[in-house]
Amino acid sequence: MAGIGFELRRMIDHRKGFMAKVRAYACAGLISSGPWLMTILTLTLLSLAAPALGKRGDLSMFRALVTYAFAFSLILVGTVQMAITRRVADLLYAKEYDRVLPAFAAALLVTALAHAAVGIAFVALAGFPVALGSVAVALFSVIGMTWVSLIWLSVAREYDAVLRAYIYGTLVSILAMVLVGVQNATVGVLGAYTTGQAFTLMLLLRCIARGLEAGGARDWSVLSSVRAFPSLVGMGLLYNAAIWIDKMVFWFRDGTGPHPWVRYHPLYDTCCFLAYLTVVPALAVNLIRLETSFYEHYRSYYGSILHGTPLKVIEEKRARMFQNLQEGTIRLLRVQGAITVLFLLFAPFLIDLLELPPVAVRIFRLTCLGAFFHVMLLLTVLMQLYFDLRREALLTSLAFFLLNGLLAWWSVSLGLPTFGIGYSAAALFSLLFGYLLLHRRLERLDYLTFTSQPIDGPLRESSEGKPLQEQELPPQGAASLPQLSTSSPQPPEPKP
């Protein structure tokens, strides 16, 4: 993500004028929330369009399958996303561009195989008809590969291309649906939608292939990087699963569905997806700030350590970095707070507008609050990763996963009036927990930075300790702390 900052700043600085700014912010929103936002947008649109489409046939199966494809592929890819991102950033940092494409090819192949395996197992066990099953597996795999491509493209800063690919893909989807899906209910619509997604994937892949120098066949080093950071894998899995666990609990304990294994909860799902949309501004602001002003302070802090400045300078830089973080957080709280309050106030109006039942007002308000906490939680986890506090990020994600699951269960048992309380409470408590962990660590940041150095000196090459997702940053780890032989002669033994 670090690289994005420069690109964004360039866009803001050089293409002056309002539209350029809007475009930069739009990009930021897109990249920061990335796959999450894509999913929500698509699912919300589908939910809202359902009644209209439904008149021409039962589309519940289609909607549920798309939701499933997004949810499970996000969890599946999320598991390795952090580790892969880190590997690519490391390769770019080392300027080994010709190894990026092979690494990507390997990751893509593994992703496709994993998705196909999971997908086939699911449709086989659920006893889907062959045609529907095949299309579903295809969609599942395509979406998984799309997420992996997005990881690469965000590291490589190809935002225009991503945006274009999505617009064209969506157009193709709509066109195909109009042509085919109107007649043939589920398989047709799903097939049409899959075609559009596949088109997006194709555009993304073409862009990747063009942007990178071709290297060897496949570079499996990306897999060892997954092994090297088990905490990142665990964290990715838990965080992404946490986002979906409450919905799954609702689907299976209170939802409906066209098939015992394919279920959804129209009310809760729609409220959640709408609530997510309310935090898109926060995500955009958050990203811009993280990638520009905070990142500069962050770099300045580690730079002051590496350049051998006295401790008082390091402490000053650290204080400034924290101050910047604090100011940014407060600004974010204020902006998103205002937006959330607006949505809370106008919830009845909005619900009415969308022709949802009046009981949705309460649920929407609760999930809105939850999304607000959730976005702060995301910032906390990101900060944990910035400071390489992988264990803390893992613990925070675990807390979110457990709380969100258990509280959803509890809320379903208590009934309709409590819907949404689980999510907002889970997000709030995980936020507090994560913040405490982060705060405790940041108080000792100098100590942590130094004592995480390899014990036998700064010589050993290792990507361990390098901050996540950073390619331009002076990594805080072993690889770049200079050898300090001038001042620390490792004394050999003389012959007395």
Partner 1 sequence: MRPDVCLLLEGTYPFVSGGVSSWVHHLTTHLPDLTFAIVHISPKRGFYAKGPCYKMPENVVSLQEVYLHDYVLGTKGRPEELHGKVKRFRALVTDMREGKSGSFAAFLDALQREGGDGFSSFDLLQTFESWNVLVESYRAEAGDESFLNFFWTWRYAYLPLFNLLSAKIPRAGLYHTISTGYAGMLAAGAKARFARPMLLTEHGIYTKERRIEINRCEWIQDWDSGELVAERKAPYFRRYWIRQFQMMSRITYEYADRILTLYTGNTVDQIRDGADPKKLRVIPNGIDLDRFGEAARAHDARGPNDRFTVCFVGRVCPIKDVMTFVSAMRLVADRIPDVRVRILGPMEEDAEYAEMCQRHARQLGLAGNVSFEGKVNVLQEMPLVDVVVLTSISEAQPLVILEAGAVGIPSVATDVGSCRELLHGRGPEDRALGAGGIITPMASPGATARAVLKLHEEPETRRAMRDAMRKRVQTFYDQRDMVAAYDQLYRSHLEGAPGDAAAEAVAAVPDGGGEE
Binding footprint of partner 1 on the chain (CB under 8 A)? 305-306, 308-312, 314, 444, 446-447, 450-451, 455-458, 481-482, 484-496
Q: Nearer Cβ to partner 1, position 217 or 451?
A: 451
Pick left, alpha or beta for residue 98 (phi over 0 → left; psi -120 to 50 → alpha; otherwise beta). Answer: alpha
Least distance in angstroms from the C-beta of 438 to partner 1:
17
3-state secondary structure of 256: strand
Least distance in angstroms from the C-beta of 417 to partner 1:
48
- Residue where the block lists tokens 């304990």: 253
- Residue where the block lists tokens 């409450």: 246
Torsion angles phi and psi, residue 317, rounded to 5 = -65, -40
Fill in the DSSP letter of residue 350.
H
Torsion angles phi and psi, residue 262, rounded to 5 = -120, 105
Q: Nearer Cβ to partner 1, position 345 or 459?
A: 459
Q: Nearer Cβ to partner 1, position 352 or 443?
A: 443
Least distance in angstroms from the C-beta of 86 to partner 1:
25
Q: Quick one: tokens of 416?
A: 């309709």
Q: Nearer Cβ to partner 1, position 291 or 388?
A: 388
Least distance in angstroms from the C-beta of 381 to partner 1:
24
Sign of CA dihedral 480, 78, 284, 379: negative
Pick left, alpha or beta for residue 309 (phi over 0 → left; psi -120 to 50 → alpha; otherwise beta). Answer: beta
In angstroms, the CA 389 to CA 385 distance is: 6
Q: Nearer Cβ to partner 1, position 56 or 440?
A: 440
CA angle 304, 288, 199 (to 5 degrees): 125
Strand partners, 262: 259
Sign of CA dihedral 352, 355, 359, 361: negative
| C-alpha to C-alpha distances, 356 to 62, 254, 258, 267, 352, nearest whole angstrom | 20, 18, 21, 8, 6
Least distance in angstroms from the C-beta of 295 to partner 1:
22
CB of 411 within 8 A of CB of 422?
yes
Q: Nearer Cβ to partner 1, position 346 or 450?
A: 450
Q: Nearer Cβ to partner 1, position 355 or 461?
A: 461
Least distance in angstroms from the C-beta of 303 to partner 1:
11
CB of 347 within 8 A of CB of 365?
yes
Least distance in angstroms from the C-beta of 440 to partner 1:
11
Least distance in angstroms from the C-beta of 321 to partner 1:
16
Least distance in angstroms from the C-beta of 449 to partner 1:
10
Least distance in angstroms from the C-beta of 64 to partner 1:
51
Per 3-state DSSP, the chain is made up of helix, strand and coil in percentages (nearest 5) of: 80, 0, 20
Fill in the DSSP letter of residue 416.
G
Strands (DSSP E) along 111-155, which ranges? none
CB of 467 within 8 A of CB of 388?
yes
Q: Nearer Cβ to partner 1, position 17 or 490?
A: 490
In angstroms, the CA 394 to CA 80 distance is: 13
3-state secondary structure of 94: coil
Q: Nearer Cβ to partner 1, position 260 or 492?
A: 492
Q: Nearer Cβ to partner 1, position 333 or 448?
A: 448
